[in-house]
Structure 1
Amino acid sequence: MTHNVLVVDDEPKLCDLLSSALSQNDIRVFTAGNGLEALAVLEQEDIDLVISDWRMPGMDGPQLLAEVKLRFPQLPVIVMTAYSTVKNAVQSMRNGAFDYIAKPFDIDELDITVNKALQFRDILRDNARMRAELDEHQQIDSLVGDSPTFRRVLQAVDSVRESNATILLTGESGTGKEMVARAIHKHGNRADMPFVAVNCAAIPEGLLESEMFGHRKGAFTGAVSDRVGRFLQADKGTLFLDEIGDMPLALQAKILRALQERIIEPVGDPRERKVDVRVIAATNKNLLQAVADKEFREDLYYRLNVFPIPLPALRERVEDIAPLARHFAHTLGATAGKRIDGFSPAALQAMLNYPWPGNIRELQNCVERATIVATGNEIEETDLPAYLFESAAPRDNAGALPGIAPGLPKDLDAALAEVEKAYILAALQESNGVQAAAAQLIGISERSFWYRLKKLAIHVDKIIR
């Protein structure tokens, strides 16, 4: 099998020497005089191994190593140096180099090191191929459900997973938007590359640009070192922009440029950087309404909405509650060292009766809690959190809940937010304002509870006065 090796050195004679020596071993050799030239070759050719000098003008060996590990994380790099010190060698290995050789070097020693690196590269390729072959014969196992509404989601995922189209996932909080994004990445043509998730609502506005695009040391107060942004972290892979509707308008223009031109500019760095990123965005907001309210750019909306996938609320796919609950019980039980075979009929009926305003996330938290307290191999009705029974009411044949007015709400999102707010306020009153205890009462994580407080503008200090 022929391998492609890139030799990077600012001494042409050494490049010629290495080319001659390596070519005898069924190796095709490419050369570059510095780090920037090397990156250009890597963008154009399928390289199996990089052999780079330590000291070069412009971009030196350590800088090139950092860029290679960022852009091509599975590509082995051998560092060579005439300044062979333990410090340099240890530093290069810590930074991800496969090995190092010292100049002047013995050709036989070089052959041994190169062969080991190429064997390592072949193993990685074989593993990737076997994973791809296995995935072709598997369903999208992370997405559970067979209701008609969810089957449409699965069909959409299957249609778009092999493309590079930008995807917009919409749906209420907790409907599994990140799970769908990860499934698209896992079963798509970028599965071996990074999947990077960013919650646009969880990062302070002043830090969001640096988080997305990175920054140079000294670009602003507190920038004590260079930082690689999420776009570059996701290069060749997938960038998941969750809660995109909460992104500030000022940053939306820069995101639009990154999507249109595939170019970013780190904060404090005049150099533009090319990126190859597949973007999946998600929101629980009505972006068209946000566009009408001048809170979201219309051009960015259409750039994101190339392939929209709406995710149904759990109450719209009641048939999937039981299989989802069993899936969570099996996986969470295994994590907790328990064997959970299923649910008693009474426990299952209680879950079917509950409206699940928090959707799949709330169901998962509920099952996790029940798994912890369960004493047998089956989750009983008494293992479920009390709030399921306080709010539950049997569904009639039409799927509606008794006690709710037959008229449809004019604003469903607002109505659901009021229900969610009522639960949280009741939990805070019950726990005397202790957020951790309130979160436990309604079966969600503390982080999720804090996020909902922020989203619903609930001020705990005012509640407990």
Structure 2
Amino acid sequence: MPRPILIIDDEARLAEVIAVALRQRGFATHFVDSAAKALAWLDEGNPSLVLTDLRMPGMDGRALLQRLQAARPELPVIVMTAYASVRDAVALVQDGAFDYISKPFEMEDVVATIGRALKLQEAEAENARLRQELEQNYDFGSLIGTSPPFQAVLQGVAEVCASRATVLLQGESGTGKELVARAIHRNSPRRHKPFVALNCAAIPEALLESELFGHVKGAFSGAVAARQGRFAVADGGTLFLDEIGDMPLALQAKVLRAVQEQTFEPVGSSRTVTVDIRFIAATHQDLRRRVEQGAFREDLYYRLNVFPIQVPVLRDRIGDLEVLALHFLKRHAASMGKRLDGFSRAALAAMTAYAWPGNIRELQNCVERAVIVARGTGVEVTDLPPYLFERRPPIGQGVALGQAAGGAVNLEAELARIERALLTEALRTTGGVQARAAELLGITERSLWHRIKKLEIRITRTTD
């Protein structure tokens, strides 16, 4: 039996009319004429959604929303209000209500709003279920986030970790590719064996072969003793080759053989060594383009690209920013012996508006710096590094965001301008399709809708 919609209006006749109209459209309903009766019925009825009037004697819609937010934060609330109280209704939306409907209204508008709320609730519940299911079966360690792009990464980790398939992690620098590689290893049958990492771009070309395969005594000038390479050390476990796109072309043939046949010869030796290794490679470069340019072997590319995972940039998962920032805040505050309880709304707004070209690594550095300079119980906007307020790169190929002119800056106005520019560009890029725009911005469709209303952005849909 479907969960009912709870309708609350001190005009009992109007509440009944709405209930009947919704039942005719296939919804289960229950109506009451006061907030107190609604709260008394809440546990017994287990509604899927609350549709409440704003102005009511006794406990009004605002007080009811606060009680519901505390007791049932997952329950969507839609506020009905007379036109003169729209400003109050907008404030309620900012406080957590899903949306508002102005009286008088058409039932089709009510039905459409309810449909959006229930669809979003279903999607959020499915995301929570998937996350819980994954976390029950897998140890994701420092992989933090609930945005759709990052959920896809977690799903990929869950799908590939039990196999021995080679994984290719692709994404910009600072996105956390090594953390993903470690999560794959930690959830694999090799978890009790070594995880060995090597950054191919950090080792001089002349030494990279020896670092990978080891060498025998006297193999070259300075080789005063035999030395194991990373392939031998990783035997039985996982070898993570970071920035493999920077590997010299001459060495790629030997790496291909080692990956393909699990055998190699140390530098200066004719003895073949056999190993059992799971390979994970990572790069910030477009390997396909490197192949076309003749800078990367095509056969090695296909050998590595068995199970590709695209690790998203932070600006594409901006909905995860707050939880990531709080994670870093807790870590750095503890290491410095400070007690900080979070970020101010202005600080979070400024961090959300920034494009984060350095991704999660840059965010971590930003939070560490803020923890150092913070003097209060939380991080304020003045504790953030100045570069967050300088000229920002656009999302995609959209608008460039400029600096506020003059001396003193109206922070709220500047942040609103930045937010408007980001939202407008995302909507333009997606032809006005809000679901796609929300995905591009890394926020929920509900959050996007609230921001559009707050900033009074007009949406123009385009068709192909």
Superposition TM-score, scaled by structure 1 size:
0.56
- 1:189-228 aligned at under 5 Å gives the runs 189-228=189-228
Name the counterpart of 2:351. Answer: 351
State the Cα distance separating 1:383 from its structure 2 match.
1.1
Name the counterpart of 1:318. Answer: 318
Q: Distance in 1 between matches of 2:230 and 2:351?
A: 39
Name the counterpart of 2:435. Answer: none
- 1:302-341 aligned at under 5 Å gives the runs 302-341=302-341
State the Cα distance separating 1:337 from its structure 2 match.
2.1
Q: Distance in 2 between matches of 1:401 and 1:311?
A: 25
Q: Distance in 1 between matches of 2:171 and 2:304?
A: 15
**3-state DSSP class of the match of 1:224?**
coil
State the Cα distance separating 1:227 from its structure 2 match.
0.8
Q: Distance in 2 between matches of 1:214 and 1:142?
A: 32
Name the counterpart of 1:48. Answer: none
1:399 aligns with 2:427: no
Amino acid at match of 1:399: L
**3-state DSSP class of the match of 1:236?**
coil
- 1:242·1:282 contact (CA, 8 Å) conserved in 2? yes
Name the counterpart of 1:152. Answer: 152
Q: Distance in 2 between matches of 1:265 and 1:186?
A: 29
- 1:234·1:277 contact (CA, 8 Å) conserved in 2? yes
Name the counterpart of 1:289. Answer: 289
- 2:214·2:229 contact (CA, 8 Å) conserved in 1? yes
State the Cα distance separating 1:228 from its structure 2 match.
0.5
- 1:354·1:391 contact (CA, 8 Å) conserved in 2? no
Q: Distance in 2 between matches of 1:401 and 1:332?
A: 35
Amino acid at match of 1:152: A
State the Cα distance separating 1:358 from its structure 2 match.
0.7
State the Cα distance separating 1:399 from its structure 2 match.
3.4
Amino acid at match of 1:389: F
- 2:165·2:306 contact (CA, 8 Å) conserved in 1? yes
Evaluate the alpha carbon distance shift between residue 296 and residue 138 of structure 1 in structure 2; reply closer, same or farther with a 3 A threshold: closer
State the Cα distance separating 1:179 from its structure 2 match.
1.0
1:243 aligns with 2:237: no
State the Cα distance separating 1:319 from its structure 2 match.
0.3
**3-state DSSP class of the match of 1:225?**
coil
- 1:9-408 aligned at under 5 Å gives the runs 139-391=139-391, 394=415, 395-396=418-419, 399=422
State the Cα distance separating 1:398 from its structure 2 match.
7.5
Q: Distance in 2 between matches of 1:315 and 1:400?
A: 13
Q: Distance in 2 between matches of 1:140 and 1:365?
A: 22
State the Cα distance separating 1:183 from its structure 2 match.
1.2
Q: Distance in 2 between matches of 1:232 and 1:341?
A: 46
State the Cα distance separating 1:338 from its structure 2 match.
2.1
Q: CA offsets per residue over residues 84-117 of structure 1, 9 Å max, x none? A: xxxxxxxxxxxxxxxxxxxxxxxxxxxxxxxxxx
Amino acid at match of 1:271: R
- 1:281·1:304 contact (CA, 8 Å) conserved in 2? yes
Q: Distance in 2 between matches of 1:284 and 1:295?
A: 15
Amino acid at match of 1:258: A
State the Cα distance separating 1:376 from its structure 2 match.
3.0
Amino acid at match of 2:261: E
Q: CA offsets per residue over residues 147-189 of structure 1, 9 Å max, x none? A: 1111111100111111111000001111111111111111221
**3-state DSSP class of the match of 2:356?**
coil
Evaluate the alpha carbon distance shift between residue 378 and residue 138 of structure 1 in structure 2; reply closer, same or farther with a 3 A threshold: farther
- 1:315·1:356 contact (CA, 8 Å) conserved in 2? yes
- 2:138·2:158 contact (CA, 8 Å) conserved in 1? no
State the Cα distance separating 1:396 from its structure 2 match.
4.1
Name the counterpart of 1:116. Answer: none
Q: Distance in 1 between matches of 2:136 and 2:184?
A: 13
Q: Distance in 1 between matches of 2:266 and 2:324?
A: 42
Q: Distance in 1 between matches of 2:166 and 2:137?
A: 25
**3-state DSSP class of the match of 1:268?**
coil
State the Cα distance separating 1:374 from its structure 2 match.
1.5
Q: CA offsets per residue over residues 232-266 of structure 1, 9 Å max, x none? A: 11111111100000001111000000011100110
State the Cα distance separating 1:339 from its structure 2 match.
2.8
Evaluate the alpha carbon distance shift between residue 233 and residue 401 of structure 1 in structure 2; reply closer, same or farther with a 3 A threshold: farther
How many residues align? The count is 272
Q: CA offsets per residue over residues 22-44 of structure 1, 9 Å max, x none? A: xxxxxxxxxxxxxxxxxxxxxxx
Amino acid at match of 1:274: T
- 2:252·2:300 contact (CA, 8 Å) conserved in 1? yes
**3-state DSSP class of the match of 2:269?**
coil
Evaluate the alpha carbon distance shift between residue 147 and residue 306 of structure 1 in structure 2; reply closer, same or farther with a 3 A threshold: same
**3-state DSSP class of the match of 1:228?**
coil
Q: Distance in 1 between matches of 2:232 and 2:314?
A: 35
**3-state DSSP class of the match of 2:422?**
coil
Evaluate the alpha carbon distance shift between residue 401 and residue 375 of structure 1 in structure 2; reply closer, same or farther with a 3 A threshold: farther
- Structure 1 residues not aligned, in runs of 5+: 1-134, 409-465
Name the counterpart of 1:111. Answer: none
State the Cα distance separating 1:137 from its structure 2 match.
5.3
Amino acid at match of 1:367: V
Name the counterpart of 2:433. Answer: none
Superposition TM-score, scaled by structure 2 size:
0.56
**3-state DSSP class of the match of 2:196?**
strand
- 2:213·2:264 contact (CA, 8 Å) conserved in 1? yes
Evaluate the alpha carbon distance shift between residue 401 and residue 264 of structure 1 in structure 2; reply closer, same or farther with a 3 A threshold: farther
- 1:341·1:378 contact (CA, 8 Å) conserved in 2? yes
